[in-house]
Structure formats: structure tokens, C-alpha cells
């Protein structure tokens, strides 16, 4: 079994998370770039 370590977010993590989320939903659900902006707003909140 592989151990998983949780840590606080570091520089670059938020951008990566927003990009991956936007990319996945664009690919699987057909969402456009406005969804990525929405994810960024939610994460910032």
C-alpha cells in the first residue's frame, strides 16, 4: 500500500488544481473557459 501525505497548499498548487479541474470538466462535460474562472473564484473564497 502506498502512503499518502496531506500537506498545506504550496506555491503553484492552486493554479495546478484550477487548471486540472477546468481541463477535466471541459473534456468530460464540454464546459468552456468560464468554468475554470468559476473554480478559481470558489477556491479563492
Q: Per residue of the chain (45 residues), what is the pLDDT tens digit? A: 899 999 998 999 999 999 999 999 999 999 998 999 998 999 888
Output the CA–CA distances (angstroms, integers) from residue 41 to 4, 5, 6, 16, in the order listed: 28, 26, 23, 14
Q: Which three cell numbers stand for residue 13?
A: 498548487
For position 33, what pLDDT does the model report?
A: 87
Rounded to 5 degrees, φ, ψ at 41 are: -65, -45
With b for 16 or more beta-carbon neighbours within 10 A and e for fewer, the 7-27 pattern comes to eeeeeeeeeeebeebbeebee
Predicted TM-score (pTM) of the model is 0.70
For position 26, what pLDDT does the model report?
A: 93
CA-CA distance, 38 to 18, in Å (whole number)?
A: 9
Amino acid at each position: 500500500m502506498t502512503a499518502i501525505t496531506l500537506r498545506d497548499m504550496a506555491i503553484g498548487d492552486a493554479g495546478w488544481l484550477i487548471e486540472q479541474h477546468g481541463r477535466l470538466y471541459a473534456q468530460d462535460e464540454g464546459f468552456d473557459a468560464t468554468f475554470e474562472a468559476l473554480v478559481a473564484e470558489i477556491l479563492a473564497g
